[in-house]
Structure 1
Amino acid sequence: MVTTLAMFGPYDAELMCHAHSKGARVVLKGDVHLSYIVDKSNRTTWITDQVNLAKRQFMDGINIDIEQAVDEGSPEYYALTNLVKETTAAFHKEIPGSQVSDVAWSPKCIDKRCYDYVTIAESCDLLFVMSYDEQSQITGDCIGMANAPLLQTLEAYQEYIDLKIDAKKLVMGVPWYGYDYPCVNLSQKGACYIEKVPFRGAPCSDAAGRQKPYEWIMKQLNSSMSGRLWDDEQKAPYFYYKDQNGQIHQVWYDDPQSICPKADHAKAKGLRGIGMWNGNILDYSHDPVAVQQTAMMWNALLGC
């Protein structure tokens, strides 16, 4: 059952009403430059604006989606912590039953996002853990890899739990998209060496590829040069194709086989739930193959 829908695109009143008719919450996306809200008055103004916007649009909370680099102990570090705490208090007061959520795929300063995860978790209703874009900082060989390798993903949840963050506050986020990497060089063992695009101190990153929705991936797979392949170490599917210029690409993605064990882990660990980024990138046409593929992706969220 879908319990919460975070509206990241333009406001859609029809979607909001449909979600409410099914008993689901609809929440805002919240983002602000942390340097701006170091000042408490600016922070209060921003929070008030978000509460008023949510009330005008009959929405049920906010998903604070801040992904900026923050140094531990910096003014921005404390500003973000206070932002979550004060936003939660304001929303709960003005919109009874409202929900506030935040967070990164690992609490270990990933992408230099050194946040006070423990206090943030205590302050808000839930943490939506974005278990994707896990190759944003590649320090080893600069090669294409899985968007969300199974073991790496599951270890990150244990890291949150080891911080004494209640598992019931954690929602597992899984990707319904993948990465298309143009191969600068392809090794005999199939490793796709990619362009070196640094990111926040790492010499290489997934920014060398392009994010592609599951709908595109399924269609591209049909014309691939390899067919669907499976990496048993990362527990993820991938394939190769050749573009119009003759360049070989490697595509990594998640599908029901890679998502199912993650969903099972979420249940086994007693997490609050599971969600995806994002719900509108499947093929919702009436094509029989697409109907089956889309149903399988939704069902994968229930586990194997």
Structure 2
Amino acid sequence: MRWSLELAQALVVLVLWVCCGSGTGCPCSDRALCEPVTVEHEFEVFVFDVGGKDWKYYDWFKVTTIAAFGPYDPELLCYAHANQVRVVLRAGMLEGTIYAECHWVGEGQMNHLIIIWKPPTGSVTVQMATNWVTFNVPWSPDCIDGRCYDFLRIANSCDFLFVMSYDMQSQMWDNCFAKANAPYYQTLSGYSAYINLGIDSRKLVLGVPWYGYDYTCTQFFETGRCVLEKIPFRGAPCSNAAGRQVPYKEIVQHVHKSITGRYWDDEQKVPSYIYMVNNTFHEVWYDDPQSISIKSAIMKKLRLRGIGMWNGNMLNYSDDHFIVKQTEDMWNALCPL
């Protein structure tokens, strides 16, 4: 499916109407904060936010862009712009979703657009009348979950691609065992595949998960051999639909109470743990500061544009000393020395 320039312009108009329709004018006490963020960051740290006020506790020394998935929050816009951080908002359209920055409600002038669109099949050409365009892509260009797009042409039409290097077990072809959400070598292979298509590595932002999967074992033999219910997805006999997503802030509360404690898998380079409820074993695979740091090193290895995560709300931002240290470690893992 190919996007025409006319459709692109129509989408831009829609986004302007959704984000910047008639209304109240600049919501910030300092009118200058309603102007576009013009700072160019050499290193991108892209944070998805799903709502609430957790953003007040983000590491604003690191963040360069906030993608706001929750209700529009003018306070977030003003605070982010005060820190020279872009904010992009969400608006629904057709089969997929578009994201666009609105500098201020009422009189905003859009100059940033993020496209996250999932057409049924075929390649996509993105052409947008704007000066900052990005596209979310799966962890690999090899037709993951039926996303058989023309990624090179998309990349050439965008400023960068956000690579969603998580949910890698959405299609399990080999066996129906619980596995890591984002194994290291699988992650690395995805970026290598994009670069081998001819995509400039500086157009790739590494996406990492701040969540894991809790799998119920239909049979349990040992760590790493938790048999799952067979839930097929797009032709694959098994999938991560057999588990439930668990935020990191919940995981850190449970791991030390588990049967195994934190268990490091050196092959997948991620941790896991086992617990039992009503005589049923559960295996939880997740990412923590160690596994995130290892994946973050891919940025230097392949000279990527930056890093981001789904999502910033997955951490605990309480003032408990132990929790504060865990949260700081996760933020610091995004930018290894």
Normalising by the smaller structure, the TM-score range is 0.7 to 0.9
Higher relative contact order (CA 8 A, sep 6+): 2
The residue number in structure 1 matching 2:26 is none
Residues in 1 aligned to 2:186 and 2:88: alpha-carbon distance in whole angstroms: 29
Q: Cα deviations across residues 161-203 of structure 1 (Å, max 9, x unaligned)?
A: 0111011110000000000001110014651111111111111
Give 1:128's match in structure 2, choosing from 141, 162, 165.
Answer: 162
Q: How does 1:53-202 map to 2 (within 5 A)?
A: 56=105, 58=108, 61-67=112-118, 69-70=120-121, 72=122, 77=123, 80-81=124-125, 84-86=126-128, 89=129, 91-92=130-131, 98-188=132-222, 190-202=224-236
TM-score between the two structures when normalised by the length of structure 2: 0.76
1:69 offset after TM fit, Å? 4.4
1:61 offset after TM fit, Å? 2.5
Task: Between 151-160 and 186-195, report the one with greater CA deviation.
Answer: 186-195
1:55 offset after TM fit, Å? 6.0
Question: Do the aligned partners of 1:231 and 1:238 also contact (CA within 8 Å) in 2?
Answer: yes
Structure 2 gap segments, 5+ residues each: 1-61
Question: Do the aligned partners of 1:179 and 1:211 also contact (CA within 8 Å) in 2?
Answer: yes
User: Which structure shows the bigger proportion of residues in helix conformation?
Assistant: 1
Alignment-mate amino acid for residue 120 of structure 1: I
Question: Do the aligned partners of 2:90 and 2:100 also contact (CA within 8 Å) in 1?
Answer: no
Structure 1 gap segments, 5+ residues each: 37-45, 93-97
For this pair of structures, how many residues does the alignment match?
A: 274
Q: How does 1:218-237 map to 2 (within 5 A)?
A: 218-237=252-271
Q: Cα deviations across residues 87-121 of structure 1 (Å, max 9, x unaligned)?
A: xx2x33xxxxx443331111010011001101110
SS where residue 56 of structure 1 aligns?
coil
Question: Do the aligned partners of 2:170 and 2:233 also contact (CA within 8 Å) in 1?
Answer: yes
SS where residue 264 of structure 2 aligns?
strand
Quote the RMSD (CA, aligned, Å).
2.2
Give 1:240's match in structure 2, choosing from 274, 280, 284.
Answer: 274
Distance of aligned partners of 1:54 and 1:64 in 2 relative to their CA distance in 1, 3 Å threshold: farther
Residues in 1 aligned to 2:91 and 2:159: alpha-carbon distance in whole angstroms: 15
Question: Do the aligned partners of 1:30 and 1:64 also contact (CA within 8 Å) in 2?
Answer: no
Task: Between 143-152 and 56-65, report the one with greater CA deviation.
Answer: 56-65
1:65 offset after TM fit, Å? 2.2
Residues in 2 aligned to 1:168 and 1:194: alpha-carbon distance in whole angstroms: 38
The residue number in structure 1 matching 2:64 is 3
Distance of aligned partners of 1:190 and 1:175 in 2 relative to their CA distance in 1, 3 Å threshold: closer
Task: Between 184-193 and 234-243, report the one with greater CA deviation.
Answer: 184-193
Identity of aligned residues (%): 52
Question: Do the aligned partners of 2:91 and 2:100 also contact (CA within 8 Å) in 1?
Answer: no
Alignment-mate amino acid for residue 7 of structure 1: A
Give 2:311's match in structure 1, choosing from 272, 278, 303.
Answer: 278
The residue number in structure 2 matching 1:16 is 77
The residue number in structure 2 matching 1:293 is 326
SS where residue 103 of structure 1 aligns?
strand
Alignment-mate amino acid for residue 260 of structure 1: S
Distance of aligned partners of 1:226 and 1:189 in 2 relative to their CA distance in 1, 3 Å threshold: closer
Question: Do the aligned partners of 1:69 and 1:114 also contact (CA within 8 Å) in 2?
Answer: no
The residue number in structure 1 matching 2:295 is 262
The residue number in structure 2 matching 1:303 is 336
Residues in 2 aligned to 1:179 and 1:54: alpha-carbon distance in whole angstroms: 36
TM-score between the two structures when normalised by the length of structure 1: 0.84
Distance of aligned partners of 1:223 and 1:278 in 2 relative to their CA distance in 1, 3 Å threshold: same
